[in-house]
A and B are shown apart, each in its own frame.
Chain A
Amino acid sequence: DTAVSQTPKYLVTQMGNDKSIKCEQNLGHDTMYWYKQDSKKFLKIMFSYNNKELIINETVPNRFSPKSPDKAHLNLHINSLELGDSAVYFCASSQGPRTGAEAFFGQGTRLTVV
C-alpha cells in the first residue's frame, strides 16, 4: 500500500482554470503538508495541517486553498491558475515535528499551466 498518495500525477490546464490535487496518507500521521518544487528543485513549504487544523500558511497567494476533511486527507485547490503556478507539488505527512520525525512524501503532481 502506498503510504502517501497524490492524484493526479500530471495535470495540464489552461490559464484561468480552477483545479484540485488530492492527497491521502494511510500512516496514521497527525501532520500533513503541501510543498511546491520549482524548476531548480527548490522545495518551499506552502501549508501545514495538524489534526485538520491549519498550522502554517506561508506567503502563498489566496488563490491556493487547502482543505482537510479529516486527518488522513489534505487537498489543494487552486483558483484562476497562472503560468507561474507551473511546478511539481508534493504532499507529505509526519507524526509531527514535535517528535522530530521525518516526513513521508507522495510521488508529486506535475502541474503545467499553458
Chain B
Amino acid sequence: DAKTTQPPSMDCAEGRAANLPCNHSTISGNEYVYWYRQIHSQGPQYIIHGLKNNETNEMASLIITEDRKSSTLILPHATLRDTAVYYCIVRVYNDYKLSFGAGTTVTVRA
C-alpha cells in the first residue's frame, strides 16, 4: 500500500472548519484514500473514504486532488469532541487490511 504523510499535530478553534492534509504521492490507480480517527482510549472510528471524486457524509468532506497525490479531510464545524488522532490511510479497494501511520493529533480549542 502507498505510504501517506501527515503533519504530526494541529490546533483548530471550536466552531471553525478543520482542514487536515495528507500526502500520498505514490498512490496507485486501485487504491482508495480512507480516513479514520481515534479518540483517546477508544477504537478507531471510520470517517470517510474516496477514490478520485470528492466525497461528503454527515461527519466530514474529503477533497482529493485531480492527480490523486494528496487529499484534505474537512471537518466543517469542529467541536471539542473532534479532538482525536486522525489517520489518513491508502489501501487497495479489495484488501480489508489497514496499516496505520502516526496520524495527525488534532486538538480543538474552545
A binds B: no
Seen from chain B, the residues whose Cβ lies within 8 Å of a Cβ on chain A are none
